[in-house]
């Protein structure tokens, strides 16, 4: 099956000179020699190029992105399974989701400067598509898919592990896994909203057993309320509800 997948990209064509430089730069990023450059050219080809050349609808990076998504999930699962031997499935699931979410993959692509290598159609050049987090996320997954097809699982795993080791702060991520205030702040910043603020709207019960009510505002609009035995607890509950409503 793997050989069949690879053969799909085999060709007798010569690589155009302008693409040779692109492939050299990509080899530097990957840290490995490339066997079949045409796989990577497709991994870098945005669908906007299809209108410029005689390409079919499957000649952009989207199929490789689909493959890379699955390969990346497995590699990241192996990494965190080894790194956190005493954590349960729920913790690992949440951590994996953080490591493979769109914003994180886009960050990997930005750090690797993959946006400088992307192939764009003439009509969309200069429109900032190469800065889009969604596009950058797809681009990184397509590169992983291309690596897997060209060099196999082990070199792909080595590359992904190197990227994660360089650019991921596990302590920081683990500290925010169940910190809903941090997650809400992250969400607001990603959506270019104003920083969430919290207001105590009620205090009930005797001094030794109070219940606090807190309302959270996102982008200066009231979104949700939470209750707790402390202000911090109520804020976390309000943030949790807000995330559920906004996502």
**What is this structure's pTM?**
0.73
pLDDT of 57 above 90: no
Q: pLDDT value at position 51?
A: 64
Q: SS3 sequence, 113-172?
A: CHHHCCECCHHHCCCCHHHCHHHHHHHHHHHHHHHHHHHCHHHHHHHHHHHHHHHCCHHH
Examine the pLDDT at 129 and tell me if it is beyond 70: no
- What pLDDT sits at residue 69? 97
pLDDT at 59 over 80: no
Catalytic residue among 14, 18, 69, 209: 69
Q: Which of 59, 87, 141, 171 is catalytic?
A: 141
Q: Is the pLDDT of residue 2 over 60?
A: no
Q: Does 204 show up as a binding residue in the annotation? A: no
Is 90 exceeded by the pLDDT of residue 10?
Answer: no
Which domains does the chain show, CATH number per domain? 2-169 (1.10.1520.10), 180-246 (3.30.160.20)
Whether the per-residue pLDDT at 150 is higher than 90: the answer is yes
Is 138 marked as a binding-site residue?
Answer: yes
| Annotation marks residue 219 as catalytic | no
The pLDDT of residue 5 is 53
Q: Hunting for tokens 């809903």 — which residue is that? A: 180
DSSP single-letter state for residue 45 = B
Mean pLDDT score of the chain: 88
Residue with tokens 């159609």, as numbered in its chain: 121
Q: Is 141 a catalytic residue?
A: yes
Do residues 191 and 247 make contact, with C-beta atoms less than 8 angstroms apart? no
Do the Cβ atoms of 64 and 46 come closer than 8 Å?
Answer: no
Residue 120 dihedral angles phi and psi, to the nearest 5°: -115, 150
pLDDT in tens, 154-206: 999 999 999 999 999 998 888 878 789 988 998 999 899 999 999 999 999 98
Does position 16 have pLDDT exceeding 80, yes or no? no
* Separation CA 113–CA 29 (nearest Å): 9
Q: Tell me what pLDDT residue 234 has.
A: 95
> Binding site annotation covers 141?
yes
pLDDT at 56 over 90: no
Cα–Cα dist 135/128, whole Å: 10
């Amino acid at each position: 099956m793997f050989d069949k997948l690879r053969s799909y990209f085999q060709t007798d064509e010569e690589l155009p000179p302008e693409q040779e430089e692109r492939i050299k730069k990509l080899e530097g990023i990957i840290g490995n020699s490339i066997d079949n450059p045409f796989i990577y050219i497709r991994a870098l080809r945005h669908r906007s190029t299809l209108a410029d050349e005689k390409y079919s609808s499957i000649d952009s990076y989207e199929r490789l992105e689909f493959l890379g998504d699955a390969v990346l999930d497995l590699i990241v699962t192996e990494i965190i399974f080894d790194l956190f031997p005493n954590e349960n499935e729920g913790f690992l699931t949440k951590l994996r989701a953080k490591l493979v979410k769109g914003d994180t993959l886009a960050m990997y692509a930005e750090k690797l400067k993959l946006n400088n290598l992307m192939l764009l159609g003439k009509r969309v050049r200069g429109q900032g598509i190469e800065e889009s987090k969604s596009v950058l996320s797809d681009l990184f997954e397509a590169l992983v898919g291309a690596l897997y097809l060209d060099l196999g699982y082990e070199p792909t795993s080595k590359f992904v592990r190197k990227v994660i080791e360089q650019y991921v702060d596990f302590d920081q991520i683990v500290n925010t896994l169940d910190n809903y205030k941090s997650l809400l702040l992250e969400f607001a910043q990603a959506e270019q909203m104003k920083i969430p603020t919290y207001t105590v709207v009620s205090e009930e019960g005797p001094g030794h057993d109070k219940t606090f009510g807190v309302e959270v505002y996102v982008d200066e609009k009231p979104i949700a309320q939470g209750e707790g035995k402390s202000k911090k607890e109520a804020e976390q509950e309000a943030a949790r509800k807000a995330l559920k409503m906004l996502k």
